[in-house]
Amino acid sequence: MEREPSFREQVNTIYRLLSVVFILCVLTGGGLILLVLKPSSSNVDIAAYEDLIEQQEVVDDNLIENGVHVRTGLVEAEGLMEVVNNCTTCHSAKLVIQNRMNTERWNATIRWMQETQNLWDLGKNQEIIVNYLVTNYPPKQKGRREILTDIEWYELTD
Amino acid sequence: MKRREFVTKATLSSFAVIIGAEIVYGEKLLKGYTPLALQDPDPFKMFNKNPEMVVLNDKPWNIEAQAHLLDDKVTPNSKMFIRNNGLVPENIDAKNWTLTIDGESVVSKKSYTLSELRSKFQQYTYQLTLECGGNGRSEFDPPAKGNQWTVGAVHCASWTGVRLRDVLEDAGIKSNAVYIGYHAIDQHLSRDPEKEPISRGCPMEKALMDETLLAFKMNGEDIPLVHGYPLRLVAGGWPASVSGKWINRISIRNKEHDGTKMTGDAYRVPCEPVAPGEKVKDEDMCIIESMPVKSIITYPRTGAMISKNKTLRIRGHAWAGELEVSKMEYSIDFGSTWKECAVEKSANRLAWQHFSADVQFPKKGYYEVWARATDSRGVSQPMLLPGWNPKGYLNNACHRIAVKVK
C-alpha cells in the first residue's frame, strides 16, 4: 500500500499546502471561495476554513495519530523523535521502515552513512535510535522461500 | 476524534476532491522540490506512471512495477521502474548540454554537445533489458539492506543513441585503458555539491560493445526526465546502475573506476559464497557484472480463477544478462515435473525474450504456475533463493503465480 499513503499521512502536508492556497484564495476574494466550494462538496463551509486558520499550531510537524507519527509514518515509541530528527532529512522514513536489521547491522549501516553519505555523529542518540529500530521494526523470518500471500482472487474470463 | 481534527479531515478531503487530485507528497512541493515542469506532487502524474506501480521510497524516488504490468513486449514508460540514488535534477538545459570524455586513459579530453553527438556519429536502436541489481531483494533472509524490491525492478525498452565505442574512439583510447566511469548532474541527498549520489561504470570490454549506447531517445521519444533526460548510458544485461542517467562526463580510467557505489558492498556480492547473515569484509566483495538468468510471468495476473477443463494461456519474458535464454519451462506441481514451452529469439542481443504456454490442469484445486529459464550455458533459475549476500543482489529465483481451478 506504499503508493497510497494513508489519509493521515497526507493530512499534515495537505494542511500546509492548504494554508498557502487559502491565503491565495483570500487575496482573490473571500466570497468566491464559498461559491467555488459549495457545489463540489457538502461538508465544506467557511467555518471550517476559519477553523483551519486557528489550527495552524495544532496540526504541526509532530502530530501523532493512532500511534503513528503522521509526517513520517514512524510508529510512536521511545526514541521516535530522535529517529525523526536524525533519519528523515536526507531520505524519507520509507527507506528506514523498509529495512529490518539487528543491532550490529544497524550500527554498521549508520557507520556506512557516516563514512560515505555525510551522516553526522549521533552521540548518545545512536543507542536510542538503534533500540527504537530493533524494537519496533524487527526482522521477520522468511526462510528460503515464502508462500504466496495476499492473493487477490478474480475470475479470469477470456 | 476531536472536533477540530474531524473538521480538518473533512475539509482536506473535500479540498482534494475540488482540485481533482490526491495531494500526496505535498511536502516536497513546499520544500521547493519542484523539478522542471514537475510541480505536480503526485508521483504517478509527475512521472506518468501507471497507478498500479508501487512506491517504495519517495525521497529518493524508488518505484517498481508489478509482474502483470510488465506484459508489453517493449516496456512503455508508464510501467518502467524508477531507481534513484539522489535527487532528480532540475532545470535541465539540453541545448547547452555537453558530454566530456576525460580520464587517465583518454588520448585527448573532448566535449560534445548533444547535436554534435547526433550529427557526428551513426545512431542505433536496441531493445535492452535493464534490471536493478537488487530486484528481488525483499525475499532474502536475513533481510538485506536497501529498497525492498519484489519482482518489478526490470524493464526492456527501446533505446536510441550513438555507440559509446564510437565516441570513446573519437576522443582516443590509450592502450592502458581498463574501465569507464560515468558522472552525472544529479544531486546527493544531503545536497552536498561535492558528493555524487552514484558514479559507476564498466570494464572497457563492455563499454566497447555494439549495444552499449549513449542514448537520447527511449521508445522513440525524448527520454523522460526521471529516466535520464537528456542523455543516458545504457548497458543492457548488467545491473541497471551501470546505465547512468543525466550523464555529462565519462572518464576512461587506467584502473577499475572508484566512483560512488563502485566500492564497499555496493553492487557487489561475496567473491566466495557465504552463509546467510555472515559478515563479509569489503575486500572479499566482487563487482557484479552480467545479471543472471531470470524470467517473469506477466499474464495472467496472479490470483486467476478458471473453470475446470479450461486451458490457461500464460506468457512472460526471460533474459540472461549477457547470454541468451535457450530453454523455458513451467511447472504446476512445485517442480516435480517441468514442461518445456516456446521462447522466442530476442529482438536483438540483450533484449528480453518472450515465452508463452497453454497450461492444462488435471483436477480442481489450488495451483501455482512456476516458470524457469535456462541460459545458453545450461544454467537455470533456482526455485529457492540463491546465495545470500549482504546487500541482497541477484535474486533470480523462479517467479510463480497462484491459480485456482474450479
In a domain, A33, yes or no: yes
Q: What is the pLDDT of residue B30?
A: 37
Query: A7–B189: do the CB atoms touch at under 8 Å?
Result: no
The answer to whether residues B281 and B301 belong to one domain is no
**Distance, in angstroms, between A111 CA and closest chain B CA?**
12
Q: Are residues A39 and A94 in the same domain?
A: no
Whole-angstrom distance, CA of residue B62 vs CA of residue A97: 14
The reply to whether A122 falls in a domain is yes
What's the CATH number where B376 sits? Answer: 2.60.40.650
Maximum Cα–Cα distance across chain B: 75
In a shared domain, residues B388 and B264 = no
pLDDT for residue A12: 59
Among B141, B151, B263, pick the best mutation site for testing chain A contact (most A Cβ within 10 A): B141
In chain A, count H helices and then E strands: 7, 3
Candidate from B24, B63, B301 with C-beta closest to A10: B24
Contact B143 A99 (CB under 8 A): yes
Closest of B305, B290, B296 to residue B370, by C-alpha: B296
Beta carbons of B151 and B296 less than 8 angstroms apart: yes
Sort out which chain A residues have CB atoms less than 8 A from B139's CB and list them. Answer: 142, 145-146
- Cβ contact, residue pair A13, B312, below 8 Å: no
Residues B280 and B343 in one domain: no
Position A18 scores a pLDDT of: 56
CB contacts under 8 A, B 49-108 vs A, are 51, 53-60, 63
Contact at CB, B264 and A116, closer than 8 angstroms: yes
Same domain, residue pair B362 and B276: no
How many domains does chain A fold into?
2
- Closest approach of B313 to chain A, Cα-based (Å): 10
The verdict on B88 and B235 lying in the same domain is: yes
CATH of the domain at B253: 3.90.420.10
**B14 closest CB neighbour out of A13, A43, A146:** A43
Same-domain status, B276 and B147: yes
Q: Are residues A22 and A84 in the same domain?
A: no
CB contact under 8 A, B29 and A51: no
**B46 in a structural domain:** no
Residue B48 lies in a domain: no
Task: Judge whether B68 lies within some domain.
Answer: no
Burial of B283 (0-12, 13-18, 19+ CB in 10 A): exposed
Q: Which of A49, A20, A97, A4 lies closest to B23, judged by CA?
A: A4
A53 domain-assigned: no
- What the block records as the C-alpha cell of B307 is 473453470
Pair (A77, A107) in one structural domain? yes
Residues B235 and B257 in one domain: yes
Number of domain units in chain B: 3
Flag whether residue B308 sits within 8 Å of chain A, measured between CB atoms: no
- Provide the pLDDT for residue B56: 96
Q: If contacts are CB pairs under 8 Å, which of residues 16-45 in chain B contact chain A? A: 16-18, 22-27, 29-30, 43-44
What ipTM was reported for this prediction? 0.84
Cβ pair B145:A141 closer than 8 A: no
Amino acid at A156: L
Residues of B in contact with A64 (CB under 8 A): none
Mutate to test the interface with B, among A24, A55, A90 (most CBs of B within 10 A): A90
**Is A151 within a domain?**
no
CA of B192 to nearest chain A CA: how many angstroms apart? 8
- The C-alpha atoms of residue B62 and residue B147 are separated, in whole angstroms, by 8
Nearest to A16 among B26, B53, B55 (CB): B26
Nearest CB partner across the interface for A153, out of B14, B29, B404:
B404
Full domain range(s) for residue B358: 294-405
B230 and B307 in a single domain? The answer is no
Taking CA atoms, A25 is separated from A6, A20, A50, B394, in Å, by 27, 9, 13, 53
Using alpha carbons, select from B196, B286, B271, B211 the residue that is nearest to residue B243.
B211
Residue B395 resides in a domain: yes
**A4/B24 touch (CB, cutoff 8 Å), yes or no:** yes
Indicate whether B124 belongs to any domain: yes
Q: Output the tens digit of pLDDT for each of chain B's 406 residues.
A: 333 333 333 333 333 333 333 333 333 333 333 333 343 468 999 999 999 999 999 999 999 999 999 999 999 999 999 999 999 998 899 999 999 999 999 999 999 999 999 999 999 999 999 999 999 999 999 999 999 999 999 999 999 999 999 999 999 999 999 999 999 999 999 999 999 999 999 999 999 999 999 999 999 999 999 999 999 999 999 999 999 999 999 999 999 999 999 998 899 999 999 999 999 999 999 999 999 999 999 999 999 999 998 999 999 999 999 999 999 999 999 999 999 999 999 999 999 999 999 999 999 999 999 999 999 999 999 999 999 999 999 999 999 999 999 9
Out of A11, A55, A141, whose CB is closest to B141?
A141
B356 within a domain of the structure (yes/no): yes
Confidence at residue A61, expressed as pLDDT on a 0 to 100 scale = 80
Q: Which residues of chain A have pLDDT under 50?
A: 1-4, 25-26, 30-59
- A1 in a structural domain: no
Do the domain assignments include residue B69? Answer: no
**Domain edge (last residue) among B287, B322, B348:** B287
- Are residues A84 and A38 both part of a single domain? no
> Looking at the structure, do residues B144 and B202 belong to the same domain, yes or no?
yes
* C-alpha gyration radius of chain A: 22
Per-residue confidence (pLDDT) for residue A36, from 0 to 100: 41
Please provide the DSSP assignment of B42-77 as one string.
Answer: -HHHHTT--TT-EEEEETTEEEE--GGGGGSSS--G
Question: Residue A103 is part of a domain; what is its CATH number?
Answer: 1.10.760
What value does the mean pLDDT of chain A take?
Answer: 76
Which chain A residues are closer than 8 Å to B396 by Cβ?
A: none
Residues B337 and B273 in one domain: no
Q: Are residues A92 and A130 in the same domain?
A: yes
Q: Is residue A27 part of a domain?
A: yes
The answer to whether residues B186 and B270 belong to one domain is yes
Q: How far apart are CA B116 and CA A46, in angstroms?
A: 59
Q: Would an 8 Å CB–CB cutoff place B300 in contact with chain A?
A: yes
Q: Are residues A36 and A85 in the same domain?
A: no
Clarify whether residues A21 and A69 are in a common domain: no
Is A108 a member of any domain?
Answer: yes
The letter for the amino acid at B352 is: W
Task: Examine the domain organization and report whether B187 and B267 are in the same domain.
Answer: yes
- Give domain status of residue B378, yes or no: yes
**Domain boundaries, position A124:** 64-136
Mutate to test the interface with B, among A38, A94, A112, A157 (most CBs of B within 10 A): A94
Residues A28 and A71 both lie in one domain:
no
Question: Is some CB atom of chain B closer than 8 A to the CB atom of A26?
Answer: no
Contact B12 A2 (CB under 8 A): no
| Residue A54 counted as domain residue | no
Q: What is the chain B residue with the closest CA to A45?
A: B11
Q: Which residues of B touch A101 (CB under 8 A)?
A: 142-143, 145
Specify the pLDDT at position A13: 58
Residue B35's pLDDT is: 39
